[in-house]
Each structure stands twice: as structure tokens, then as C-alpha cells.
Amino acid sequence: MHMTTTQARSEEGAPRRRILVIYNPSAGQWRRRRLKATLRDLEILGGELTLHETTRPGDAESTAEGLSATDYDVVVAAGGDGTINEVANGLIKARGPVPPLAIIPLGTANVLAQEIGLRGQPPIIAKAIVSGGRQRVHLGKANGRHFIMMAGVGFDAHVVANVDLALKRHTGKIAYVLETLTQALRYGFPPCRVGIDGRTFDACSVVVCNGRHYGGPFIAAPEASLEMPVFQVCLLERGGWAHALRYGAALILGRLSRLPDVRILSGRVIRIDGQNGLPVQGDGDIIATLPVEISVAVETLELIVPA
């Protein structure tokens, strides 16, 4: 493991917490600047920091897997939702009690940060890490891989699978917008069959929501809650570019759940069949392929949330 440790400069009377930051440096320079500013604010608040920079995909997960609550008071995932997902999967696999999970959002969409109301400048993020509340959240599991916010099959997973990573690094959300427009014209929209707690439905795209937010500040499933062990399953019934763009526009306008060809159903065990090998996205990365079984995980995670 490549770790660097800095000694805290503590403010008089401020809480001191042993903080491990797992940082994905593969993104742009502005993120490193934002990280540094947040680390400085953590030190001002009395944090004793250990920084682990990941060197490859999977590194955040194996680092988190080796953690123990006796070594750190909090583990912070600093990156996009993909890095947070890795740390969560690692913590789930750890043998003993683990520290709670906090985040420094440095990604493109930062969906989990939106869900827990973590927004603002580095001092606000640092304060949430040091003195935020704790919230126990339920996770989803797709063919054995955990996710926090959502898993998707169909058009959105296809966009995630094809987005140009170099372009994403340089332009952020614009890369997703361009890929969505391109794939709306190219994608074949194969149908899939969705079993929700034993009842069967047809759809072109499916988003299994564990939280309310999707794609950033947008709300796909108003009834979803990370604190409840149940999903809200969004079934987007129609295929083709015009409907794909209409669904996208409705999401941005906060009207997705009101469309007549979008059904949202509660469920705990979701089985999705379709063209074998189609990608399944979880928290914005490809985590499985069809056929997939998605269920509420037995394991839960403790998240640090703004006070």
C-alpha cells in the first residue's frame, strides 16, 4: 500500500479523529486541488490524516477490505461514485468491525453526495466528515456486487459502457450528454423481462433505485430511501431515440415518475432477463451483465452525513 501520513494541526477543543482518505487520482487536476483544500480543512478541525492514493481499479476496494474500526474513526472515499462504490464493497468484505464511510465528492455526477445533501466548499465537506451524523443505509446487490444508489439495465448502462473516459476526464458531464445523444441514435433498445418479487413486466430500460437521486441532482424515484430495505424499480417501457430523449428531459424536469409509460414499483428481489451479456451499471460503473438478480443486501453500511 502507498500511504502518506500527515500530522494534524488541531484547533483548541476541536474533535480529533483518525481519518483515512482513499483518493482516486485518475481524474483531473481541479480534483487534486479540491482534495488538498479539504484535507487542509480537516487538519484545521483536528483530523489526523492518512492519505491513500489508489494506483489502479480495485485498489480502493482491497484497501477498504483490510480496515478495522480500531485503526481509524472514519474512512473517506475521495472520488466519484465509482470510488465510493469500491470502498463500500471493500468495507462489506472486511472481517471485523469497520469505520463509518464518509465522502469527499470529486466525481462527475456525485449522486450519493446529492442524496445525503452534501454540497458546498471544502470547509463544509470537512466539517461533515469530522462532526457529521451517522446514518445506517441498506445496499443493493447485483449478481454478488454491491451498489449504494442504483443499478441500471438498458439505455443508461449502454451509455455508461460506451462513454469516452478521456473525454469524461476533460469535460465531465458533457461526455455523458454527447454519448447519450449518440447512443440514442445507435442503440437497438432490446426489450427485457423484469421480475419484481415474482411478478413479471416488460421494459426497454430498468433502473433499480435504492436512493431517490439519479444522474446528479435529479430525482428518479421520489419514494426511494437508503434507510429502507426496499427498492423503487423504474420501468421505462418504450424504446427508440425519441422516447430515450423524452425520458431524459422528464428526469431533468423532475417529471419522470409522472410519465404514463414509466412505472415505478416497490420490490426486494429483481430478476432481469434479456439479451445475455448486456451490461448492468451500478453507481455509474459496469458491475454485471445479463441475466442479473438484484436484491436488497443483508449487509448494511454506516454513512457519515451532514449534521
Ligand X SMILES: Nc1ncnc2c1ncn2[C@@H]1O[C@H](COP(=O)(O)OP(=O)(O)OP(=O)(O)O)[C@@H](O)[C@H]1O
Interface residues with ligand X (CB under 6 A) are 24-27, 54-57, 59-60, 79-83, 86, 107-109, 284-285
Minimum distance of ligand X from residue 23's CB (angstroms): 9
Instruction: Pick the closer one to ligand X by CB: 274 or 282.
Output: 282
Instruction: Pick the closer one to ligand X by CB: 57 or 190.
Output: 57
Instruction: Pick the closer one to ligand X by CB: 48 or 86.
Output: 86
Residues 217 and 55: their CA atoms lie apart, in Å, by: 30
Minimum distance of ligand X from residue 150's CB (angstroms): 12
Minimum distance of ligand X from residue 34's CB (angstroms): 13
Select the residue whose beta carbon is closest to ligand X and give its number: 80
Minimum distance of ligand X from residue 114's CB (angstroms): 11
Minimum distance of ligand X from residue 279's CB (angstroms): 14
Instruction: Pick the closer one to ligand X by CB: 78 or 262.
Output: 78
Residues 161 and 152: their CA atoms lie apart, in Å, by: 11
Instruction: Pick the closer one to ligand X by CB: 48 or 283.
Output: 283
